């Protein structure tokens, strides 16, 4: 753990303080560079995040060594929520807020974050990788903390859209695994007041213009719930009404955005029934949803673990859909 003063004086991903409210440029790299670092970092909150505990979590980056060529890092114990920005050489006006997974235990940096950011930037789409707070670490808002960070992120992207050459009506969200739960919550509970307004940005809409949910955690009820995500979000034995309140498939509003759902049927970590339950709920509202199921792929394939599997083409499938929807 670290004290509150240390957090304000500068925690970044080894690059730049993340407590700032606007983008700070760092060394830029060509959009097609597979190892490019973010071109900017954006802190979500001025000073300490709302509802901070007396002692903030101590952020740690852990490199997972499993023989892959690509790096596979995670960030544990988020103290300073922020976005890593990947800017294309020639912006096309579209933006995607990327929400990596991690079972609400940590946030995946590479295979569900930076890799996707580079891929999108190489195709003219400005990408913002969200490092969100984890709900079980003493924040006052508890299970609303990840959603609060996602709402704030969407509003900051729209506030600064001109600086990024982004159309504020072409800002979508893409979430993986537990990050899919954050993205689904944003797409269904964008109007929920999860924090007191901090500045003029909080008058802007948090509703994404589209939502892509990749092998998402959705249901907080058994037997569909991912046990780790459920416990870290809601506790060991949540009441049924609390499970319902935090299951996006039970809270789809009539003005939710279009959805893209993707899942592998051999996913033994997060059952494919999560995506199917979300699909059924969206269709019951008469809303647009495009669903893609693959026989094989497992869980957590992101970009670097997809080649050689039936799911390998999924980014291009999403891109075709996004272009058809006018958001890419």
The mean of the pLDDT values for the chain is 89
CATH number, domain containing residue 114: 3.40.50.1820
Q: What percent of the chain clears pLDDT 70, i.e. is strictly above it?
A: 88
The parent domain of residue 69 ranges over 2-325
Chain segment 36-48, per-residue pLDDT in tens: 689 999 999 999 9
SS3 286: coil
* Tens digits of residue pLDDT in 13-38: 443 333 323 333 332 333 344 456 89
Number of structural domains the chain divides into: 1
Mean of the pLDDT values across residues 80-89?
97
Please state the pTM of the whole predicted model: 0.90
Pairing mode of beta strands 259-264, 211-214: parallel
Mean local confidence (pLDDT), 157-169: 98
- Is residue 1 pLDDT above 70, yes or no? no
Angle in degrees, 0-180, between the axes of helices 178-188 and 145-159, rounded to the nearest 10 = 70
> Buried (b) or exposed (e) across 210-246, using 16+ Cβ within 10 A?
bbbbbbbbbbbbeebbbeebbbbbbeeebeeeebebb
């Amino acid at each position: 753990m670290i004290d509150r003063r240390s957090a304000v004086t500068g925690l970044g991903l080894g690059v730049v303080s993340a407590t700032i409210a606007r983008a700070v440029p760092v060394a830029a790299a060509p959009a097609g560079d597979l190892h490019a670092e973010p071109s900017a970092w954006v802190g979500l909150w001025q000073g300490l995040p709302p509802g901070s505990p007396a002692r903030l979590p101590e952020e740690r980056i852990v490199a997972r060594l499993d023989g892959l060529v690509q790096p596979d890092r995670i960030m544990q114990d988020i103290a300073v929520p922020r976005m890593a920005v990947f800017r294309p050489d020639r912006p096309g006006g579209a933006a995607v807020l990327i929400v990596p997974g991690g079972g609400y235990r940590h946030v995946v940096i590479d295979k569900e974050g930076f890799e996707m950011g580079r891929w999108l930037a190489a195709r003219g789409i400005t990408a913002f990788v969200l490092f969100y707070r984890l709900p079980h670490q003493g924040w006052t808002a508890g299970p609303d903390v990840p959603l609060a960070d996602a709402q704030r992120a969407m509003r900051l992207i729209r506030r600064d859209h001109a600086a990024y050459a982004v159309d504020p009506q072409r800002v979508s969200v893409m979430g993986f695994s537990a990050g899919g739960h954050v993205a689904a919550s944003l797409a269904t509970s964008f109007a929920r007041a999860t924090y007191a307004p901090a500045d003029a940005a909080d008058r802007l809409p948090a509703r994404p213009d589209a939502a892509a949910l990749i092998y998402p955690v959705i249901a907080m009820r058994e037997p569909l719930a991912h046990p780790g995500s459920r416990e870290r979000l809601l506790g060991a034995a949540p009441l049924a009404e609390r499970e319902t309140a935090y299951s996006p498939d039970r809270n789809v509003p009539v003005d939710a955005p279009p959805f893209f759902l993707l899942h592998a049927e051999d996913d033994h970590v997060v059952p494919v029934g999560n995506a199917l339950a979300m699909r059924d709920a969206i269709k019951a509202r008469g809303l647009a949803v495009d669903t893609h199921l693959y026989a094989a792929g497992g869980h957590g394939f992101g970009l670097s673990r997809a080649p050689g599997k039936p799911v390998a083409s999924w980014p291009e499938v999403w891109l075709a859909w996004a272009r058809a929807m006018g958001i890419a």
